[in-house]
Amino acid sequence: MGPVGLALAVDLAQQGIAVTVLDDNNTVSVGSRAICWSKRSLEILDRLGVGEQCLAKGVIWKVGRTYHRENEVFNFDLLPESGHKMPAFVNLQQYYVEDFLTQRAIALGVNLRWMNKVTGLTQMPDHVALQIGTPDGPYDLTADWVIAGDGARSPVRGLLGLDFDGELFEERFLIADIKMQADFPSERRFWFEPDFHNGQSALLHKQPDDIYRIDLQLGWDSDPEVEKRPERIIPRIEKGGGAKGFHAGLDLDLYLPMSPPAEIRP
C-alpha cells in the first residue's frame, strides 16, 4: 500500500467516511524509496495521527552541507528558529511511514484488502463498477467514488485511457543503503565531483537503524544492471568512507534492495 492511498484513506476515515483500500501487493514497500519527510509533510502526518511516531523513529536534521571535491562551498540551516512542533526534516524509510499509516487505518476501521488487484473499472452515472482480481478468484465491487493512488505508472489511469504529461529528467542514480556503525552527524551532505566518485555527484543521508543512504549519480548512458552489482558499488563506498570519515570497512553491509524489517511486514 502506498503512502498516498493510505494517507487519503486515513484522512477520509477521520472524517467518518467509509473507505475500502485495494492493493495488489501483500506488503508495505520494499527497498530504499522516499526517506526525507519535510516539515509540511510531517504536519500532515501529524494531523493523520502518526506524526509523533515518525518523529520518534526518524532521524531529525536541518543542516545541509555542499562540497566541491574536498571543500565545503555552501551550507544551510532549514529551521534556525526554535518553537516549531515539527522539525525541518525527518529521515525515515518509506516502509515505516506506510506501516504507521496502515496501523492507523486499521485502528480507524478502514477496510484494507491486500492482494486485491483492480483489473477493470467502468464509470457509471452515479457509481463506479470495479473488477477485482485476488488469489481466490475475481469479484465485482461498486463504489460511490474511486480514487487512484496506484503509483506513478497508475494502471487505473491506463484503464481510463488517460495520458500523463510530464518531463523526463535524463539521469540515472545508484541508491545504496549501507548498514554501519558510524559517528556521523545527522546532516545532509552533497558532493560535486568527489574524489570517490569521479566527475559525478553524490548525496549522503542518515536513516534510522544505522542505515546510511548514498545516492551516486551515474549518467544517463550507464547500464543499471551492471552498476548495481556489489563488486561495482562496494569499492566506491569504501573509497568514499575513507575519504569522508565515515566507517565503511568491516561492518559494511549493503542492501540492494533493502527489505522492511520482519516485524512490519503484514
Ligand X SMILES: Cc1cc2nc3c(=O)[nH]c(=O)nc-3n(C[C@H](O)[C@H](O)[C@H](O)COP(=O)(O)OP(=O)(O)OC[C@H]3O[C@@H](n4cnc5c(N)ncnc54)[C@H](O)[C@@H]3O)c2cc1C
Residues that bind ligand X in the complex, under the rule CB under 6 A: 1-5, 22-25, 29, 31-35, 94, 117-118, 149-151, 155, 175
Nearer to ligand X (CB atom), residue 89 or residue 196? 89
From CA 208, how far away is CA 221, in angstroms rounded? 33
Number of Cβ within 10 Å of residue 193's Cβ equals: 13
Nearer to ligand X (CB atom), residue 155 or residue 242? 155
Q: Work out how close the CB of 31 gets to ligand X at its nearest, in angstroms, rounded to a whole number.
A: 6
Residue 40 burial (C-beta neighbours within 10 Å; 0-12, 13-18, 19+): exposed
Residue 104: in which H helix or E strand, if any? helix 94-107
Q: Which of 10, 243, 27, 222 is nearest to 109 (CA)?
A: 10
From CA 14, how far away is CA 50, in angstroms rounded? 13
Q: Work out how close the CB of 184 gets to ligand X at its nearest, in angstroms, rounded to a whole number.
A: 19
Q: Work out how close the CB of 40 gets to ligand X at its nearest, in angstroms, rounded to a whole number.
A: 13
Nearer to ligand X (CB atom), residue 94 or residue 217? 94
Nearer to ligand X (CB atom), residue 99 or residue 150? 150
Residues contacting residue 49 through CB under 8 Å, at least 6 positions apart: 10, 14, 104
Nearer to ligand X (CB atom), residue 38 or residue 247? 38
Nearer to ligand X (CB atom), residue 106 or residue 245? 106
CA 59 to chain centre: 14
Nearer to ligand X (CB atom), residue 2 or residue 49? 2
Contact 206, 61 (CB under 8 A): yes
Q: Work out how close the CB of 121 gets to ligand X at its nearest, in angstroms, rounded to a whole number.
A: 9
From CA 242, how far away is CA 139, in angstroms rounded? 57
* 82 grid coordinates: 526554535
Q: Work out how close the CB of 108 gets to ligand X at its nearest, in angstroms, rounded to a whole number.
A: 18
Contact 67, 189 (CB under 8 A): yes
Nearest-CB residue to ligand X? Answer: 2
Q: Which of 105, 92, 233 is nearest to 174 (CA)?
A: 233
From CA 95, how far away is CA 109, in angstroms rounded? 21
Q: Work out how close the CB of 200 gets to ligand X at its nearest, in angstroms, rounded to a whole number.
A: 17
Q: Work out how close the CB of 71 gets to ligand X at its nearest, in angstroms, rounded to a whole number.
A: 26
